Amino acid sequence: MRRLKRVPKMRHFYIYSVLFLLFLPIFILIFFSFNESKLNAVFTSFTFDWYVKLFENSDLLDAFKNTILIAVLSTSISVVIGTLSAVGLKKFTFKGKSLIDKLIYIPIVLPEIVLGISLLSVFALTNLELGFGTVLLAHISFSVPFVITSVRATLFALPQNVESAAVDLGASRWQVFWHVTLPLIRPGIISGALLAFALSMDDVVISYFAAGPGTNTLPLYVYSNIKTGISPDVNALTTLMLIFTIIFLALSAHFQSKARAEREL
């Protein structure tokens, strides 16, 4: 009996230890965003100055703006391409389909440095000038396979009789896709979009090869300042991003629970 009682305690200790190790770097980052010293090693005194100086750092704000814009655009385009591709691969049979099914997973398992060099070679062969456009194309290229994989997983779990019933009732292919298939695969689309957005936000390697001299993103900005020391205003920006993320997740969970309660009524 004593041994059985110890198991839940050890399990809880293990869970809390893992969570502590995962969130400890985030707490340290937030802690040093209020540090008066520029060194992220010793806490001297508490201050809000870095949150004020953050909006005076034009290079950091431009990098953050480029990161958000590229992430939003690449995610939007990747969701459209990935969703239509997943539906086409699921519903239609054509020559070379099995080969395409296998090729989709190559960008996912391929090391980022190999993909970055490959994209740089393509841009050089096509005489594309490195800049905002090439970074956007690079992010789309590695985001689409993740969206396809996420949407296809939802499509395979989709009951076939639902679409057949809609066709029997006189719905066209477009109506079946828009009013039946799309709402049912929405969770897969949302998960693929969130994954693509997260990958685009923190990408360093591929962006390094695709970005030109006048284009900078937040991960590249942080990477370029590692040797000289990261300024605490970067910690302040990251803290604000974390706060907005928590607020967004809380609002999303609230509206989802509200919608679930309305459906149960």
Same domain (yes/no): 25, 84: no
pLDDT of 78: 95
pLDDT of 117: 92
pLDDT of 184: 83
> What does pLDDT average to in each consecutive run of 10 residues of the chain (265 residues)?
57 85 87 82 83 88 92 95 88 80 85 91 90 93 92 81 71 78 85 90 90 86 78 86 83 69 60
Same domain (yes/no): 91, 211: yes
Domain count, the chain: 2
Among 43, 26, 25, CA closest to 34:
43
pLDDT of 100: 83
Tell me the residue range of the domain where 97 lies. Answer: 58-230
pLDDT of 188: 87
Same domain (yes/no): 63, 106: yes
pLDDT of 1: 45
Same domain (yes/no): 137, 111: yes
pLDDT of 101: 82
Tokens of 180: 């039946």
Is the distance from CB of 65 to CB of 59 less than 8 angstroms? no
Specify the CATH number for the domain of residue 148: 1.10.3720.10
Same domain (yes/no): 103, 171: yes
pLDDT of 166: 72
Same domain (yes/no): 115, 225: yes
